[in-house]
Amino acid sequence: MSNKDYTRREFIRSFSVTALAGLSLPVLSSCSKEEVEDFLQKHFREMTVEEKKKVIAKLEQRYFEQYGRKFQISTQEALPETLWGYGLELSRCIGCRKCVYACASENNTSRYARQLHWIRVLRLKRGNLINLEDSEHYYTPETVPEKGFVYLPVQCQQCQNPPCVKVCPIHATWQEPDGIVVVDYNWCIGCRYCIAACPYKGRVFNWAEPNLPKDEVNPNVHYLGNRPRMKCAVEKCTFCIQRVRQGRYPACVEACPTGSRKFGNLLDPKSEIRYIIERKRVFRLREELNTESKFYYFFES
Amino acid sequence: MESLQGLLKETWHFYRKTLILVTRGGKIYYAWCFSLLAIIVMGFIFYWKQHEMGLIETNMTDQVSWGLYIANFTYLVGMAAAAVLLVIPSYIYQFKPIKEIVVLGELFAASCMVMAILFVMVDLGRLDRFWHMLPFIGSMNFPASLLAWDVLALNGYLFLNLFIPIYLLVKSYYGKKPNWKFILPFILLSIPWAVGIHTVTAFLYNGLAARPFWNASILAPRFLASAFCSGPAIIIVIFQIIRKVSAIKIEDGALFKVAELIAYAMFLNLFLLGAEIFKEYYSGTVHMASFKYLFEGLHHHNELVPWIWAAMAMNVTAFILFLIPSTRERLSTLNLGCLLIIVGVWIEKGPGFVIPGFVPDPLGEIHEYVPNLVELMVSFGIWALGLLIFTLLMKVAIPIETGEFTHTDYERGVITKKSLDYTASLHKINKQ
């Protein structure tokens, strides 16, 4: 029964897409074949393996023309028995923003007009951690850490119950089996409802065509992660999906000079993140919103 | 075959007559239409720039990620929902003066719906991917996403508000009585649907736990109350224009009745606002920040403060004007009240509602937003387009309502057709 429904739905869909294509023929005939392909490109999760290969080849060609580099675009799926979790030791963070810039260069974010960052470090006066209204986002001292302040880095908290996924009108963002919330940049329509729904400001928007200088490109990318984006699509931290699925640490973990940042598999009882959750005093931001974030802040035991 | 030919002929007659109706008019009519057209073209030029360069052409940012477009959208949904205030008394209670004008009110709601949908479309970063949102064709996140609900609700309401008046007008065009058994269910459906579009739009904001300013359960009732002020207010103004420039008769009694309904709605609106303000200020938690930003300013950021107080003053003044029978039933004060409500509710339900939701943002950053020229021009363009659509609809609907544009014209045509046949047969005889 459900199978029959499925085929009928498929039929309606393919029929309508054909009709749509037919109706828009006069418009599309003025576009190149590549533009037509882009226009009709399917949702990533509905592509067959063959279709994915074709899209990857097209993208690699396009990136080569644009950035003069040979890209490796991975579509590697989630590893079995994994649920990624993050730990951040607030008592060690000195607010140097090394993580912010390591993230930017790893993840090919737009560098200027507008500059996008997936990590934001807030400076708070000592004595307060919860009321972020008193936080300073754009502090620029000569040296860090500063007396009388603590620092709170915030990025996508990879909620297990993500409000952004719930509100997306078109399934352009979803949670992968390893817990990472990803975006199909080619499916996003740029309505920015997810930005309004996120309690952590975990998402940023490409207000214009992203500006990524050729010599700053990272060519090792994942389709759902750090591949170069396009204008008016939303983007966010993916725990460096291109790295962690190959057994590496996220770039921010590697870049942190104080070792504040920890990462591991929540399902593995021997992982570092499990050690931290079991032995340190951990808390999660905005726990009262029931987002079940997988980003644990902690202090020296 | 014969009937098909007749139908084709009739359709052609209708098209031709419609075309004549909308292209002919007085100097004021031409001036009005062409200035609207000029604004539309200008808006489109600005939109094209935004479409090519991206939303960076607007003043929206990651902090305030929705602005003037979504503010206008919210307001217009309310305007459209207000047609129901005319539907209830006219169809259900058979209140005659309103019944005559309800069709025009429904067409007004349809025009508002078109504008509301356009405001969402210009706010989309990737209009080229719009088809991802269509049911069955794209991949709609229904029922989880309230935006998916809104797409269905708004388009459904647009359909109802075109279908019902067109059905009634066509019947009247043929000089026939409408089949109430057929159309009444649609009319009845349009009443909860009107409440529905506004509720769904309120829920769109209401469901976001990340934004305390919107995450208050009083939101949907407040939306409805304010909608039942602004929509009817503009309808009162439009009907006075219509009766001035056309043959249609709209009694003062109908206008005063609508104004009375506005007074009740405005009372409810002010009461609900008061309830919300009490809760926020008396409990005084950190969630009050957005309210503070709106009403007094936050950390020296106080851009919206004069606006919201002006809106409050306008709404209260209008409420008093509409409450007292003598000022309600005098056209000059009635119109003043309408104007105050149209502007006051726009501020309150538009920018005064959308922007504070983003200030301060979830990480406490305060970023002030002012729409720029592109956003203003595109918005003017859409408003002009909505007014133009409404004007043209009126240009056809009013002559049908008054009986100037009917099928009988065509029947005269049938006579000439018969005589043509007669001459043709004469020719035949002559040839023989």
pLDDT tens, residue by residue, A85-105: 999 999 999 999 999 999 999
Residue A234: what residue type?
V
Average pLDDT over chain A reads: 92
Residues 185-244 of B with CB under 8 A from A: 204-205, 207-211
Looking at residue B1, its pLDDT comes to 60
| CA–CA min distance B217, chain A (Å) | 16
Do the Cβ atoms of B76 and B347 come closer than 8 Å? no
Residues 241-280 of B with CB under 8 A from A: none
Q: d(Cα A251, Cα A243) in Å, to the nearest integer? A: 8
Inspect the interface and report whether the beta carbons of B286 and A133 lie closer than 8 Å.
Answer: yes
Determine which of A60-64, A116-120, B13-17 has the lowest per-residue pLDDT on average.
B13-17
Please, what are the averages of pLDDT over each run of 10 residues along chain B (432 residues)? 76 83 89 97 97 96 97 95 78 74 89 96 95 90 94 95 92 86 91 93 96 94 93 89 82 88 93 94 91 94 96 96 94 96 96 96 95 98 97 90 73 45 50 50
Count CB neighbours of B409 within 10 A: 12
**B284 reaches A (C-beta below 8 A):** no
- Cβ within 8 Å of residue B185, ≥6 positions away: none
Map residue A152 onto helix, strand or coil.
strand
Nearest to A169 among B128, B141, B360 (CB): B141
Q: Which residue has the tokens 């060609």?
A: A61
Q: Which residue has the tokens 């904001």?
A: B205
Looking at residue A30, its pLDDT comes to 66
Nearest to A289 among B204, B209, B364 (CB): B209
Q: d(Cα B181, Cα B388) in Å, to the nearest integer? A: 33
Please name which of B35, B160, B79, B106 lies closest in space to residue B393, comparing C-alpha atoms. B106
Nearest to B145 among A168, A195, A196 (CB): A168
How far, in Å, are B115, B120, B158 from residue B154 at the CA level?
11, 11, 6
Query: Crossing angle, helix B219-245 and helix B252-283, to 10 degrees?
Result: 160
Residue B20: what residue type?
I
Closest A-chain CA to B130 = A189
Which residues from B are below 8 Å from A195, CB to CB? 62, 65
Beta strands in A134-288 (DSSP E): 149-154, 173-175, 181-183, 203-205, 220-222, 234-236, 261-265, 281-283
State in Å, rounded, how far the first CA of chain A is from the last one. Answer: 56
Which residues from B are below 8 Å from A117, CB to CB? none
Do the Cβ atoms of A87 and A262 come closer than 8 Å? yes
Inspect the interface and report whether the beta carbons of B126 and A233 lie closer than 8 Å.
Answer: yes
Which residues from A are below 8 Å from B124, CB to CB? 189-191
**Residue with the larger pLDDT of the pair B248 and A245:** A245
Looking at residue B414, its pLDDT comes to 47
Inspect the interface and report whether the beta carbons of B208 and A196 lie closer than 8 Å.
Answer: yes
**A21 reaches B (C-beta below 8 A):** no
pTM summary value: 0.91
**Interface contacts (A, B; CB < 8 Å):** 153
Nearest to B209 among A13, A199, A208 (CB): A199
Confidence of residue A155 (pLDDT cuts 50, 70, 90): very high
Residue A249: what residue type?
Y
Inspect the interface and report whether the beta carbons of A201 and B361 lie closer than 8 Å.
Answer: yes
Q: What percent of chain A has pLDDT over 90?
A: 83
**Residue with the larger pLDDT of the pair A12 and B200:** B200
State in Å, rounded, how far the first CA of chain B is from the last one. Answer: 28
Q: d(Cα B80, Cα B391) in Å, to the nearest integer? A: 16
Which residues from B are below 8 Å from A154, CB to CB? 363
Looking at residue A300, its pLDDT comes to 81
How far, in Å, are A157, A235, B151, B366 from residue A164 at the CA level?
11, 12, 18, 22
Q: d(Cα B252, Cα B264) in Å, to the nearest integer? A: 19
Closest A-chain CA to B123 = A191
Please name which of A98, A72, A61 lies closest in space to residue A218, comparing C-alpha atoms. A72
| Rg of chain B, C-alpha, whole Å | 25
Looking at residue B416, its pLDDT comes to 43
Q: d(Cα A238, Cα A173) in Å, to the nearest integer? A: 12
Residue A153 has pLDDT above 90, yes or no: yes
Q: Cα–chain-centroid distance for residue B152?
A: 16
Residue A12 has pLDDT above 80, yes or no: no
Residues 164-183 of A with CB under 8 A from B: 166-172
| CA–CA min distance A242, chain B (Å) | 25
Residue A242 has pLDDT above 60, yes or no: yes
Determine which of A41-45, A277-281, B241-245, B268-272 has the lowest per-residue pLDDT on average.
B241-245
Looking at residue B339, its pLDDT comes to 96
Residue A279 has pLDDT above 80, yes or no: yes
**B106 reaches A (C-beta below 8 A):** no
Do the Cβ atoms of B90 and B250 come closer than 8 Å? no
For A134, counting Cβ atoms within 10 Å of its Cβ (0-12 exposed, 13-18 middle, 19+ buried), the class is middle
Q: What is the mean pLDDT of residues A276-285?
A: 95
- Residue from B62, B123, B208, B300 whose CB has the most chain A CBs within 10 Å, to mutate: B62
- Residue from B52, B132, B213, B300 whose CB has the most chain A CBs within 10 Å, to mutate: B132
Map residue B100 onto helix, strand or coil.
coil
Q: What are phi and psi of A182, to 5 degrees?
A: -120, 170
Nearest to A17 among B137, B148, B208 (CB): B137
